[in-house]
Amino acid sequence: MGATLLFHLGAGERGLEAFCERYADSFNRWFDDLGRPHLDEATSRRLVDGLRPISESHPIDALSRRRDALLTELITAARGHAAPGAR
């Protein structure tokens, strides 16, 4: 699962569209350091349209369960492996 799908899942029922509405100002402040990119309506639409094949063929609750299962697998696999420099 990439960042765009995680953003879609993190915004609740309205998915990526709601995420873009809610966080456009924050993203634009971050993007200001990058030069010209802006999360405007056209860019938001492009992101939503790009995710549409997944969002329309998989219910958000099924995607959320898959994300949670992947995170659980990751945490389980990482148990007992200390981060570099950790005690």
Residues 51-69 pLDDT 10s:
999 999 999 999 999 999 9
The rounded Cα 25 to chain-centroid distance in angstroms is 16
Rounded to two decimals, what is the model's pTM?
A: 0.57
Percent of the chain with pLDDT over 70: 95
On whether the CB atoms of residues 55 and 16 are closer than 8 A, the answer is yes
* Cα distance between residue 25 and residue 57, in whole Å: 30
